[in-house]
Amino acid sequence: MVGLPAAALSRLCEAVTRRTLNIVGAVTTPTLKQRTSGILLHATSLPGPHGSGDLGTEARAFAEFLARAGQRWWQMLPIGPAGYGDSPYSALSAFAGNPMLIDLDGLGVAIDDEALPADFVDFARAGRYRERHLRRAFAAFRPTKEYDAFCVREQRWLDDWALYAALKRAHGDVEWTKWEPGVRDRKKDALSKARNDLAEEIAFHRFVQFRFDSQWNDLRVYCNARGIGLIGDLPIFVAHDSADVWQNRELFHLDDEGMPTVIAGVPPDYFSATGQRWGNPQYRWDRLKETRYRWWVDRFATALARFDAIRLDHFIGFVRSWHIPRTEPTAMNGTWVPGPGRALFDAVKDAVGELPLVAEDLGLVTKEVSRLRRDLGLPGIRLVQFAFGTDPQAPKFKPHAHGRRSVVYTGTHDNDTIVGWYFDRGGGEDSTRTPEEAEKERHHALAYLGREEWMPTAQELAWAMIRLTLSSVAHTVILPMQDVLALGSEARMNRPGKATGNWRWRMEAGANEGHLERKLHEATACYGRAP
């Protein structure tokens, strides 16, 4: 793997920070130690004319909305190129940006008129449409000093990503384990020939990443200038079909054919009676340790050059992870295997400096998980939606039990909207509760609100729960945009265990204007979270 020395990576992060601060001036971005709030909205869910949300005009308009509504944070899901099931948590690269997010209007090329859905993302159609315009822009592109500097700065991942993407297209987009053996196994002569034969395609993918990087940096500066910090999402595991695994086979539990011997997931939980079988390959932490966690240092450096804070998905996995034999059809049969613990974070901190991280400590939290989070000084997550049911952490999720060093959500991308949860009667195909459990949760929630006999509308229920969440003593509150809009289950982002039909929701154009903006600002100010 081509990489930069740790000191150089640290300077890279510092340079990005200095550039941002120089442009922003007196306006300061928030920290996780201040009393603030923000919105969770993935960039693909923004409105816009090109089949999915992107980093263009609507992203800037959303940043303006956040500022006027008294919000300080914009949280997104992972921004890598989505892989299996269009999931941002199954990206084709842990380093590359998603081409779907590139603003076509900023490319300077003619835009085709095509009727793409406005109320959901048709990933296949939108992907083809956007790629057509990116290739058109690439044909007119001539390298610049900025482009050359980008290619040098990001060489540690860019070269192999561009080669992987070109090879994947040349092999009909099948996973890398089905490629011609020479390139599958990264034989030197085969890779040299591929670089020569696919030079134009490789150059295209470098160009795409350059455009993404330029537009991302512009959006971040735009948000920071308005006092808005960006929160990213870093999944602990990477997809098996990814440039990362193909490039670093020695860092994962794989057999001679490149297939995982054990995969990641979780045992039976709230979401699934048979557990969740994610399919990601497990890390060889012993080999990563031998490199002083170099790959992870690079990964954190890239993430912190893009975001002001990072949500660490499945923080539990850094202490222990559920190893499922690949041949098992469910996640019920597995083994807990220790993770790297504090050693990983010490190595990253030594290389890149302070780590503004949020530990997603949901699920089977052990004393060791809690101890590591506290030792690292990281805020954990609290979910108000889970405060009234049978979740083992429910007592800690009630607002009166929140600690100040917490990040509180009404809900996350993995569960129903607050309206969908409340009005779900239980027992349905997408429900994780029986009718009796659903009724008990509703009664408990109303009792907590002091409204036992209340028959709320969707708007009334959503805003009662939003105000309850904002009232928490926790420093940080993040509200999914679907809850602010008081939308039901039709706006749910993901249904764990379902491989298709997720991640498609888009916000209606103009839905966050006028009265909603004022209402959100008033509630935020009421509970001392507005600037």
Whether 453 is catalytic: no
Name the more confident of 12 and 151: 151
pLDDT of 26? 55
Q: Is the pLDDT of residue 16 over 70?
A: no
Mean pLDDT of 381-399: 95
**7 falls within a domain:** no
CA distance 247 to 299: 14
Q: Is the pLDDT of residue 86 over 50?
A: yes
Give the closest residue to 13 by CA, choosing from 267, 336, 351: 351
- Looking at residue 453, the DSSP 8-state letter turns out to be T
Longest dimension (CA), the chain: 74
List 175, 360, 424, 483, catalytic entry: 360
> Which backbone phi and psi does 414 adopt, to 5 degrees?
-90, -15
| Each residue's pLDDT tens digit, 264-287 | 999 887 667 888 899 999 999 999
Would strands 36-40 and 73-75 be described as parallel, antiparallel, or unpaired?
Answer: parallel
Q: What range does the domain containing 366 cover?
A: 29-526
Mean pLDDT of 319-332: 95
Confidence of residue 363 (pLDDT cuts 50, 70, 90): confident
* Contact call for residues 136 and 104 (beta carbons, < 8 A): no
**15 falls within a domain:** no
**469 falls within a domain:** yes
Confidence of residue 442 (pLDDT cuts 50, 70, 90): very high
What letter represents residue 509's amino acid?
Answer: A
pLDDT of 502? 96
User: Per the structure block, which two tokens stand in for 194?
Assistant: 């591929």
**2 falls within a domain:** no
Would strands 309-313 and 36-40 be described as parallel, antiparallel, or unpaired?
Answer: unpaired
* Contact call for residues 253 and 261 (beta carbons, < 8 A): yes
CA distance 223 to 298: 25
Q: For 10-19, 314-323, 339-348, which range has the lowest pLDDT when averaged over its residues?
A: 10-19
pLDDT of 275? 87
CA distance 273 to 271: 7
Tally the domains of the chain. Answer: 1
> Which backbone phi and psi does 330 adopt, to 5 degrees?
-130, 180
Q: Is the pLDDT of residue 14 over 90?
A: no
| Each residue's pLDDT tens digit, 44-73 | 999 999 999 999 999 999 999 999 999 999
List 233, 241, 313, 441, catalytic entry: 313
Confidence of residue 513 (pLDDT cuts 50, 70, 90): confident
Mean pLDDT of 382-389: 96
Mean pLDDT of the chain: 93
Total Cβ atoms within 10 A of residue 273: 11
Give the closest residue to 373 by CA, choosing from 118, 32, 109, 57: 32
**21 falls within a domain:** no
CA distance 114 to 445: 46
Q: Is the pLDDT of residue 158 over 50?
A: yes
Tell me the DSSP string of 374-411.
Answer: HHHT--EEEEGGGGGSS-TTHHHHSGGG--SSEEEES-
Q: Residue 406, by phi and psi: left (phi above 0), alpha (psi -120 to 50) or beta?
A: beta
Burial string for 138-171 (b: 16+ CB within 10 Å, else e) reads beebeeeeebeebbeebebbbbbbbbbbbbbeee
Strands (DSSP E) along 162-289, which ranges? Answer: 229-235, 262-266, 276-281
Tell me the DSSP string of 482-498.
Answer: HHHTT--GGG----TT-
What letter represents residue 21's amino acid?
Answer: L
Q: Is the pLDDT of residue 383 over 70?
A: yes
**24 falls within a domain:** no
| Each residue's pLDDT tens digit, 184-201 | 999 999 999 999 999 999
pLDDT of 272? 75
Q: For 93-102, 114-123, 270-279, 451-460, which range has the lowest pLDDT when averaged over its residues?
A: 270-279
Q: Is the pLDDT of residue 126 over 50?
A: yes
pLDDT of 5? 43
pLDDT of 141? 97
pLDDT of 432? 79
Name the more confident of 513 and 184: 184
CATH of the domain at 445: 3.20.20.80
**337 falls within a domain:** yes
Mean pLDDT of 449-455: 93
Q: At what angle do helices 342-352 and 367-376 cross, to 10 degrees?
A: 20
Count CA atoms within 13 Å of residue 162 on its CB side: 22
Whether 313 is catalytic: yes
CA distance 132 to 138: 10
Whether 360 is catalytic: yes
Name the more confident of 453 and 499: 453
Percent of the chain at pLDDT above 70? 95
Percent of the chain at pLDDT above 90? 88
What letter represents residue 268's amino acid?
Answer: P
List 105, 414, 437, 517, catalytic entry: 414
Mean pLDDT of 496-522: 92
Q: Please report, in angstroms and rounded to a whole number, the separation of the first and last CA atoms in the chain.
A: 44
**13 falls within a domain:** no
> Which backbone phi and psi does 7 adopt, to 5 degrees?
-60, -40
